[in-house]
Amino acid sequence: MSLPTFTLMILSFLLVIGPLIFVHEMGHYWVGRWCGVHAEAFSIGFGPEVTHWTDRRGTRWRLGALPLGGYVRFAGDMGIASEPDPKWLELPPKERNRCFHVKPVWQRALIVLAGPVVNLLFAALILAGFALVYGENVTTTQVQPIAHSAAEAAGLKAGDRIMSLDGRPVADFDALTRVVPLYRAGERLDLVVERGGKRLDLPVTMGFQAVKDSLGHEVRVPMLGVRPVEIAVRKVGLLEAPVIGLERTGALIKMTADGLGRLVTGKTSIRELGGPLRIAQFSGESAASGPLALISFIALVSINLGFINLLPIPMLDGGHLFFYGIEAIQRRPVSARVQEIAFRSGLALLLGLMLLVTINDLDSFGLWRGLSRLIG
């Protein structure tokens, strides 16, 4: 790997992750302020403090040396399960009322929910901007097969309209391009097409295109092998653009959920999971392709960040929301002991997952192959 490529990857990664963490934490911060909760600290990054300043509300804004995360710490919080700090009882009544845990459960839930939601809305804003500037792609799924492709081998003919792939309806060509990457090369699928007013079932074996990534490694990209008969783009007005942005965000959320479902059911290998190193690689590749590709990638990562944080896993925002839901139903908080066990288990799960994706990332970079050749 050349130094410029490595530098581009690191800078691009920081350019992608930094703003998204800031946006996420600002969601928590602003809704917390709206609910009357005092933010003691707002940090971008972890580790040693590079710089800081304190605003007139008493919030310490800090920049950590490791820009791989961030947090906002509200008054009264302590520990991984956000249990109340015992010292809050020593505070004057006015200060106690600004603590996070004394707020009604619905306000605490809103504060926690705000982070992921703002990530999703941030992505929707980017996609709305693209729609406003470049229009909406309304290309239909009337296609022609590429020579020697999986589609041609399955019997697809020029002029056929693809209706669904593996039971997933595809309303337009954009939807088709979002569905294809969910599958593996060599996977057998059911392709439903419309030909001459009749529907036909065409079993197809997903093909692939071998490409080189930025590190020079060969990657098999799933490929059905079709191109649209005609490309159509329509102009979008200022009022319609936000609606399209939300629709595209919803479609990408569904794609992310589908990918997770395939992973859980074993249809997708856990080797496909990537972590920060692979995100850095994709960030560099997107930046090398131009600013539009990088902004599109930022929107995609923002959607994934928002979606993953909503999963009901302890340590994530969704885990806190899960316990708030139980609290709302039974009208009392889940015991601190149960929460602590759950959140420590969630932490162990996330650390294990981080180790797994790091191993996968290093494998995709060819580290293990290089070590085996060196040892051999």
Encode pLDDT of 54-71 as tens digits. 999 999 999 988 877 788
**How much is the pLDDT for 190?**
93
Shared-domain flag, residues 18 and 84: yes
Domain assignment of residue 182, yes or no = yes
Domain assignment of residue 251, yes or no = no
Q: For the chain, what is the domain count? A: 2
Residue percentage of the chain with pLDDT more than 70: 89
Q: How far is CA 320 from the centre of its chain?
A: 19
Residue 357 has pLDDT above 70, yes or no: yes
Encode pLDDT of 166-222 as tens digits. 999 999 999 999 899 888 888 999 999 999 999 999 999 999 887 766 556 667 788
Shared-domain flag, residues 227 and 311: no
Shared-domain flag, residues 113 and 151: no
How much is the average pLDDT of 13-33? Answer: 92
Domain boundary among 201, 218, 234: 234
Q: Any idea which residue has 């692979």 for tokens?
A: 278
Grade residue 275 by pLDDT with cuts at 50, 70 and 90: confident
**How much is the pLDDT for 346?**
86
**How much is the pLDDT for 70?**
83
Residues marked active site are found at 25
**How much is the pLDDT for 223?**
92
**How much is the pLDDT for 45?**
83
Q: How far apart are the first and last CA of the chain?
A: 22
Tokens standing for 176?
């088709």
The residue that leads in pLDDT, 47 or 328, is 328
Strands 161-165 and 168-169: antiparallel
Residue 6 has pLDDT above 80, yes or no: no
Shared-domain flag, residues 312 and 218: no
Q: Which residues contact 230 (CB under 8 A, 6 or more apart)?
A: 139, 140, 142
Residue 1 has pLDDT above 50, yes or no: no
**How much is the pLDDT for 4?**
44
Domain assignment of residue 167, yes or no = yes
Q: How far is residue 303's CA from residue 297's CA, in Å, rounded to a whole number?
A: 10
Domain assignment of residue 245, yes or no = no
Domain assignment of residue 51, yes or no = no
* Domain coverage including residue 226: 136-234
Residue 375 has pLDDT above 50, yes or no: yes
Q: How many C-alpha atoms does 245 have within 13 Å on its Cβ side?
A: 24
**How much is the pLDDT for 218?**
67
Residue 353 has pLDDT above 90, yes or no: no
Grade residue 336 by pLDDT with cuts at 50, 70 and 90: confident
Q: Which amino acid is at 318?
A: G
Shared-domain flag, residues 109 and 34: yes
Angle, alpha carbons 190-194-197 (nearest 5°): 150
Residue 10 has pLDDT above 80, yes or no: yes
Cβ atoms within 10 Å, residue 48: 8
**How much is the pLDDT for 38?**
93
Shared-domain flag, residues 112 and 141: no
Grade residue 93 by pLDDT with cuts at 50, 70 and 90: confident
Helical packing angle, 105-134 and 317-330, nearest 10°: 140
Q: Which helix (H) or strand (E) is 209 found in, with range?
A: strand 207-212
Domain assignment of residue 266, yes or no = no
Shared-domain flag, residues 31 and 111: yes
Q: How far is residue 152's CA from residue 225's CA, in Å, rounded to a whole number?
A: 8
Domain assignment of residue 127, yes or no = yes
Domain boundary among 199, 234, 269: 234
Q: How far is residue 361's CA from residue 157's CA, in Å, rounded to a whole number?
A: 39
Shared-domain flag, residues 125 and 141: no
Tokens standing for 29?
């911060």
Shared-domain flag, residues 87 and 166: no
3-state secondary structure of 244: helix
Residue 9 has pLDDT above 70, yes or no: yes
Burial class (CB in 10 A: 0-12, 13-18, 19+), 213: middle
Length of the chain: 376
**How much is the pLDDT for 241?**
96
H-type alpha helices, 270-316: 276-289, 291-309
Shared-domain flag, residues 116 and 165: no
Domain boundary among 190, 213, 234: 234
Give which of 115, 189, 182 is closest to 150, Cα–Cα: 189
**How much is the pLDDT for 2?**
43
Q: Are 213 and 219 in contact (CB under 8 A)?
A: yes
How much is the average pLDDT of 88-113? Answer: 84
Q: How far is residue 231's CA from residue 35's CA, in Å, rounded to a whole number?
A: 49
**How much is the pLDDT for 268?**
77
Burial class (CB in 10 A: 0-12, 13-18, 19+), 270: exposed
Tokens standing for 204?
């197809």
Q: Which residues contact 113 (CB under 8 A, 6 or more apart)?
A: 317, 321
Residue percentage of the chain with pLDDT more than 90: 52
Residue 47 has pLDDT above 50, yes or no: yes
The residue that leads in pLDDT, 8 or 229, is 229
Shared-domain flag, residues 8 and 128: yes
Burial class (CB in 10 A: 0-12, 13-18, 19+), 185: middle
Average pLDDT, the chain: 86
CATH, residue 181 = 2.30.42.10
Grade residue 339 by pLDDT with cuts at 50, 70 and 90: confident
**How much is the pLDDT for 369?**
53
Q: How far is residue 274's CA from residue 178's CA, in Å, rounded to a whole number?
A: 18
Encode pLDDT of 119-172 as tens digits. 999 999 999 999 999 999 999 999 999 999 999 999 999 999 999 999 999 999
Domain assignment of residue 7, yes or no = yes
Q: Any idea which residue has 């930094």 for tokens?
A: 18
Shared-domain flag, residues 22 and 115: yes
H-type alpha helices, the chain: 3-34, 93-96, 105-134, 150-153, 173-179, 241-264, 276-289, 291-309, 317-330, 336-364, 367-375
